[in-house]
Amino acid sequence: MFDDLFKKHGKVVFIRNDQKSSVAEMDDDAESLAFAVAMAKIANDVKAADIKVLFVKPLVYWTRFFIIATAFSRPQIGAIRTKMADLAEEKFGKVPNGDLKPNSWTLLDFGDVVVHIFLPPQREFYNLEEFYGNATSIELPFEDEKPFR
C-alpha cells in the first residue's frame, strides 16, 4: 500500500513549514520546565507525595512535561488543583483545561505541561511512570526536603 504512495509522491509526503529553530525549541522547553517545577512545588507544599516531573516531549506530540503526584483525599486534590490554577494564572498567564472538581484522578492540562493528581489506588493502577518509562525524570530542587513532623 505505501509502496505505491512512495513511488507516486516520494518518501517525504508532508513537510512542515512552521518548525521552530532548535534554539527557540530549547527556550520553550526551559520555560515549560520552569513552569512544571513551580507546579510541582505547589503539590509539594500541599503535602502531595511521590511527585514526579517527566520530560515526555520526545514520546508524545501534544505536550512537553507530565507532573504526576499522589494525594490522599479528594479535598487535598482540590486544594492542589486550586493552588496550581491560581498560581498559573497569576504568575504565568495560563488557565488549565481539565477537571473542575476533584476526582480520584484529576487532570490539569496547561498545554505544555499536563498535571496528573491521583489517589493512591488509581496511581498504582494506571502507573503512568511505567507507561512512559522512557521519559526523562527531572530532579526537583525540593526533593531532599524533609517533611515537617
CATH number attached to the domain at 45-138: 3.30.460.10
Give residue limits of the domains in the chain: 45-138
Q: How far is CA 62 from CA 56, 65, 99, in A?
A: 9, 10, 18
- What's the pTM value of the predicted model, to 2 decimals? 0.80
**SS3 label, residue 63:** coil
Q: How many CB atoms lie within 10 A of CB 122?
A: 16
- Residue 4's contacts (CB-CB under 8 Å, 6 or more residues apart) are none
* Span 92-146, pLDDT tens digits: 999 999 877 888 999 999 999 999 999 999 999 999 999 999 999 999 988 766 5
